[in-house]
């Protein structure tokens, strides 16, 4: 495999001056907390997402596509490395110093290691220019997980989860430099109410500052596209990770005004610590529409610069719809369309996400793909398509299905999830079957094994564990080979005796 890779790289370098620049550019878009049914192309009726819907109509829409984890940082670790949470550095949301102040973050989120091998590293090694814009969440600048240590030529945005809770941050990172943006003492910059409650008659403007980050990040991203378009020698990899629709709700007012006032008879008054909003349903929809508009700006830029036909565009989300905090109302929007669970859970609603792929002339437009896939597959697939070194991924190469050579993968690897958060949980999808277990950390009693036939029961209503003991044994065998507690994270007790059963 390594020999073949270096032969390919050698050929790339030899033919760079004679048209090798025709290698496809890659745009990877990763939304934040966007549920799979919150887009029009996946059946959403209330939230307007015309640009992403058009992207789906021009490419493939995958209906059994999953995030790498049910929460942010571990999911992004999977997406960037092609290795699932059973073996990755970040197996749950974790702070290096939990007591660290919002306003003086130095250590931040648990970083990925220096040895972690990422998509931008693989593509940069293959001659790609690389840029990241938006939310990173895998390590502060100065740590082993910093974007500049993992293949990004340029990075503009947020590195830390806490700061990401506000669209009006006190600062933003620009290639390792901390650029001041807003008044650090403003409630808008924290994303949390910090125990206060608003008086009657508050407005959305009470929780806004001067510089909103979303369009600012998009502007920098478009500058990157413009520079790359002028570079005739190197293709580019662009990672766009918008914050939307993660709470706190702070969309620009012009997007709120596009939604009906009668949706919101009651304001959200700041429960669960997140900032209040007088029109929470309209604000939630507005955040998604605002993100959709910036995706539209990106797609239009590709077209304007003549890059559209030679660019692979992938759209997904880091996990499913968030639980109803910060004013979110998933039932009003039917955000999971009958699936069980929300963000933080390994049930379908917590990990099934959009999976849209467009590559004009290579990927047949308007197709729907039922093949199960997840974030761990992205790295090996992209590397296979462009001849880059994928390292040692644990996902599967989806290119045979992507390119229409096959309707399903003949050797789809089992899909694995393992995380210490939300009580500790594991899940393994084997074909159409999903095996999972919860409450696996601390002193709590581990829950029973659960088995679901996702073809017949996508809502996970009927536990078939009693009928499939051998499938549970197979899942345990997979976990024994592919799970190990990473440094700083608890050991999951997936082999503990079940309640009421002998060991």
Q: How confident is the model at residue 501 (pLDDT cuts 50, 70, 90)?
A: confident
Handedness of CA 25, 30, 36, 37 (dihedral sign): negative
User: What confidence score (pLDDT) does residue 99 get?
Assistant: 83
Q: What mean pLDDT do residues 407-423 have?
A: 93
Which of the two residues, 141 and 271, has the higher pLDDT score?
141
Residue 489, C-beta contacts closer than 8 angstroms, at least 6 positions apart:
91, 92, 94, 420
What is the pTM assigned to this prediction?
0.95
* Mean pLDDT score, 95-102: 83
pLDDT at 489: 96
The whole-angstrom separation of Cα 285 and Cα 478 is: 40
Residue that wins the pLDDT comparison between 193 and 455: 455
Amino acid 199: pLDDT: 72
Query: CA-to-CA distance for 24 and 128, rounded, in angstroms?
Result: 10
Whether the CB-CB separation of 445 and 460 falls below 8 Å is answered with no
Q: How confident is the model at residue 185 (pLDDT cuts 50, 70, 90)?
A: confident
User: pLDDT band at residue 6, thresholds of 50, 70 and 90?
Assistant: very low
Neighbours of 6 (CB within 10 A): 10
Lowest mean pLDDT among 109-113, 199-203, 335-339, 385-389: 199-203
For 362, residues 6+ apart whose C-beta sits below 8 A from its C-beta are 403
* Model confidence at 107: pLDDT above 80: yes
Q: How confident is the model at residue 503 (pLDDT cuts 50, 70, 90)?
A: low
E strand or H helix at 66, and its extent?
A: strand 65-66
């Amino acid at each position: 495999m390594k020999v073949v890779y270096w032969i390919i790289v050698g050929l790339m370098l030899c033919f760079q001056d004679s048209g090798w620049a025709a290698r496809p550019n890659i745009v990877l878009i990763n939304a934040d907390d966007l549920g799979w049914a919150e887009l029009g192309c996946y059946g959403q009726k209330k939230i307007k997402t015309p640009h992403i819907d058009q992207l789906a109509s021009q490419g493939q829409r995958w209906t059994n596509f999953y995030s790498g984890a049910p929460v942010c940082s571990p999911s992004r670790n999977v997406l960037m490395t092609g290795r699932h949470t059973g073996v990755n550095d970040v197996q749950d949301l974790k702070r290096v110093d939990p007591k660290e102040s919002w306003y003086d973050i130095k250590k931040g989120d648990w970083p990925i290691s220096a040895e972690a091998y990422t998509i931008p590293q693989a593509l940069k090694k293959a001659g790609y220019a690389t840029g990241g814009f938006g939310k990173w969440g895998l390590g502060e600048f100065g740590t082993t997980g910093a974007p500049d240590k993992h293949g990004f030529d340029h990075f503009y945005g947020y590195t830390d989860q806490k700061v990401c809770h506000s669209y009006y941050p006190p600062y933003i990172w620009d290639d390792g430099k901390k650029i001041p943006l807003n008044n650090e003492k403003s409630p808008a910059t924290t994303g949390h109410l910090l125990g206060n409650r608003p008086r009657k008659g508050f407005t959305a403007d009470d929780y806004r500052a001067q510089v909103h980050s979303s369009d600012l990040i998009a502007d920098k991203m478009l500058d990157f596209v413009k520079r790359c378009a002028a570079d005739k020698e190197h293709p580019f990899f662009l990672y766009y990770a918008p914050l939307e629709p993660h709470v706190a709700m702070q969309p620009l007012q012009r997007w709120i005004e596009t939604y009906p006032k009668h949706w919101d008879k009651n304001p959200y008054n700041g429960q669960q610590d997140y900032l209040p909003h007088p029109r929470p349903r309209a604000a939630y929809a507005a955040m998604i529409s605002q993100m959709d508009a910036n995706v539209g700006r990106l797609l239009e830029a590709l077209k304007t610069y003549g890059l559209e036909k030679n660019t692979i565009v992938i759209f997904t989300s880091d996990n499913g719809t968030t639980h109803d905090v910060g004013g979110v109302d998933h039932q009003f929007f039917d955000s999971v369309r009958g699936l069980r669970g929300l963000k933080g859970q390994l049930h379908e609603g917590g990990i099934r996400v959009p999976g849209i792929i467009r590559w004009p002339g290579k990927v047949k437009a308007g197709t729907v793909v039922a093949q199960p896939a997840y974030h761990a597959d992205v790295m090996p697939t992209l590397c296979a398509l462009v001849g880059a070194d994928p390292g040692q991924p644990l996902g599967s190469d989806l290119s045979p299905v992507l390119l229409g050579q096959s309707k399903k993968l003949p050797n789809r690897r089992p899909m694995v999830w393992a995380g210490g958060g939300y009580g500790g949980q594991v899940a393994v999808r084997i074909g159409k079957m999903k095996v999972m277990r919860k409450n696996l950390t601390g002193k709590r009693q581990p829950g029973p094994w659960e088995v679901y036939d996702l073809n017949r029961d996508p809502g996970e209503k009927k536990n078939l564990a009693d009928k499939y003991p051998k499938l549970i044994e197979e899942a345990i065998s997979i976990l024994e080979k592919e799970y190990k507690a990473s440094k700083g994270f608890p050991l999951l007790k997936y082999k503990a005796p079940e309640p009421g059963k002998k060991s």
